Amino acid sequence: MISRWTDLNLDKYKRDFQSNSPKHIIMDNLLNKNVIRKIEDEMDQNLNWGSDEHNNSKYKQFVQNINDMPLWIKNVCKYFNSKEFTDKLSYITGYKNIIADNSFSGGGCHRTLSGGFLNVHHDYTNFDSFMGKWDDIVAEEGIPKIAGQKLYRHLNLLIYINEEWLPEWGGNLEIWSNDLKEIIKEVEFKQNNSILFAIDGVPHGYPTPIKCPKDVARKSLAFYYFTTEPTLNNYERAFWKNGEELR
């Protein structure tokens, strides 16, 4: 599933993640090339795309229900939520007892159509408050319930899918400083490029409308991971950049 190159670089990823500020790593060629191609082929099919359009998100579509995902996308999503992979994440990041979000809230299979964007925002961190249906999620999605403890959203993994994407089309991910004064990292949108980052205090997005042709879309996969360790920011919903404030 993941490339041999990825496994060979786990020690480097661990050093880089734990020394970078904010905590993040860029992983090129995370997946085997044949897997990426199959995912893109499936994303070009007529999937059951959902959308959640508002002032801060335009032409961004998603498939979050794993039962609506085609075979290869479904298998890849299951792998990145598996214990085999979360054990790798624990080694890289130092977080213990990582729990994958099998509900794919905000995750799963994504595409953004021409002219679309996602404004800079801070993800929610408080699982209980955001989901509002803890017992249902536990029962339906297979997320372990830990007696007397809450889950906090700590990690985001993004994987870029498009084989053909020109730099002038935009779509690069912007990582902003916590005070929203400046861009501190820009992650190139290109095939099989990926970023793993700690969510807490890391606003991010791609706020400039993408300029790809009408028959092209910005395609990606997204995964979120929890631990029982509280985050510094206890956000019960996404907060969006408005000047130098989150609202």
Write the DSSP string, the chain: -B-HHHHHTHHHHHHHHHHSSSSEEEEET-B-HHHHHHHHHHHTS----EE--BTTEEEEEEE--GGGS-HHHHHHHHHHTSHHHHHHHHHHH--SS-EE-TT-TT-EEEEEEEEEEEEEEE---BHHHHH--HHHHHHHH-PPP-TT---EEEEEEEEE--SS--GGG--PEEEE-TTSS-EEEEE---TTEEEEEE-TT--EEE-SPP---TT-EEEEEEEEEEESSPPSS--SS-EEEETTEE-
- Rounded Cα distance, 204 and 176, in Å: 6
- The confidence score (pLDDT) of residue 73 equals 97
Q: In 10 A of CB 90, how many CB atoms?
A: 16
Percent of the chain with pLDDT over 70: 91
- Rounded Cα distance, 172 and 217, in Å: 13
Q: Is the pLDDT of residue 165 over 90?
A: yes
How do residues 180-228 score in pLDDT, each as one tens digit?
999 999 999 999 999 999 999 999 999 999 999 999 999 999 999 999 8
Between 148 and 187, residue with greater pLDDT? 187
- The confidence score (pLDDT) of residue 80 equals 97
Secondary structure string (H, E, C) spanning 184-207: EEEECCCCCEEEEEECCCCCEEEC
- The confidence score (pLDDT) of residue 148 equals 47
Percent of the chain with pLDDT over 90: 78
Pairing of strands 183-187, 193-198: unpaired
pLDDT category of residue 147 using cuts at 50, 70 and 90: very low
Distances from the Cα of 52 to the Cα of 56, 59, 100, 214, angstroms: 10, 9, 23, 20
